[in-house]
């Protein structure tokens, strides 16, 4: 476990937390996309968890263009305020560009088979959707992605497996947005959508206000099965 440096397509460089599988031999990769709190302990623990399932994992610092090294939590109002400030300053198009660079870097790393998927949470869930529409990632997973309803014009570009976990009571994705997402993606044979009744945003965030173990376990198992089917 540690950090690697990735070159951006416009001459910059940023850090990504790296986690490797313990078993020897080649393995697929996963680009893990952060929430609005940076590459914090929650993200590092997730990266280690996916590595434990047998994947090479990179979790890039997508806020580096604003401020490198953001590492905050959801445990204080000041941190929430800073997180939403960063969210407001974030450029999604540049973020996808940096994720493409991460995807390329991961595919070239020793021990990676070249098959690489992505998984993102919250803001990262939106970006995982954009990885599905704008990149050649082998598969992609969104946990309670925000803003997908405004990006459905890109859905026709999805040509690799895409999995979306939707919280029925998500305060950041109201019912009308959820209905639009289901209508916009439901007929695409590459898309699988799961709605979690009685769950709010970030139901899978360990230690979060809305964490629900049963729902998180179900979503995590579905994700593990999805990656097993599409990356192995």
Tokens of 22: 């313990």
Point out the residues that are catalytic.
170, 201
Whether the CB-CB separation of 19 and 107 falls below 8 Å is answered with: no
Give the phi and the psi of residue 47 in degrees, each rounded to 5.
-60, -45
Q: Is 231 helix (H, G, I), strand (E, B) or coil?
A: helix
Domain 2-231: state its class: alpha beta
pLDDT tens, residue by residue, 197-223: 999 999 999 999 999 999 999 999 999
Per-chain mean pLDDT for the chain: 97
Indicate yes or no: pTM above 0.85. yes
pLDDT tens, residue by residue, 44-102: 999 999 999 999 999 999 999 999 999 999 999 999 999 999 999 999 999 999 999 99
Q: Name the H helices within the chain.
A: 41-52, 77-89, 92-108, 123-134, 175-185, 213-231
CA–CA gap between residue 178 and residue 204 (Å, rounded): 18
Pairing mode of beta strands 27-33, 13-19:
unpaired
Whether the CB-CB separation of 17 and 47 falls below 8 Å is answered with: yes
pLDDT tens, residue by residue, 124-153: 999 999 999 999 999 999 999 999 999 999
- The structure tokens 């289901």 sit at 182
Neighbours of 112 (CB within 10 A): 19
Q: What is the 8-class DSSP label of residue 190? A: T
pLDDT of residue 131: 98
Q: Where are the domains of the chain?
A: 2-231
pLDDT of residue 25: 79
């Amino acid at each position: 476990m540690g950090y690697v440096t990735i070159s951006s397509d416009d001459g910059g460089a940023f850090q990504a937390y790296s986690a490797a599988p313990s078993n020897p031999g080649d393995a697929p990769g996963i680009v893990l996309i952060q929430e609005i709190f940076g590459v914090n302990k929650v993200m590092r623990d997730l990266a280690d968890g996916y590595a434990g399932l047998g994947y090479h994992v990179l979790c890039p610092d997508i806020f580096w263009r604003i401020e490198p090294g953001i590492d905050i939590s959801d445990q204080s109002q000041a941190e929430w305020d800073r997180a939403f400030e960063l969210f407001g300053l974030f450029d999604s198009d540049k973020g996808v560009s940096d994720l493409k660079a991460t995807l390329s870097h991961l595919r070239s790393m020793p021990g990676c088979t070249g098959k690489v998927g992505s998984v993102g949470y919250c803001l990262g869930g939106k970006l995982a959707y954009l990885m599905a529409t704008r990149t050649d990632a082998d598969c992609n997973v969104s946990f309670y992605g925000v803003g997908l309803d405004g990006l459905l014009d890109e859905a026709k570009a999805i040509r690799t497996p895409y999995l979306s976990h939707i919280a029925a009571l998500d305060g950041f994705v109201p019912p009308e947005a959820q209905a639009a997402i289901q209508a916009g993606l439901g007929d695409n044979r590459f898309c699988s959508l799961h709605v979690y009744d009685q769950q709010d945003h970030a139901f899978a965030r360990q230690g979060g206000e809305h964490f629900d173990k049963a729902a998180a376990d179900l979503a995590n198992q579905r994700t593990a099965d999805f990656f097993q089917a599409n990356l192995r």
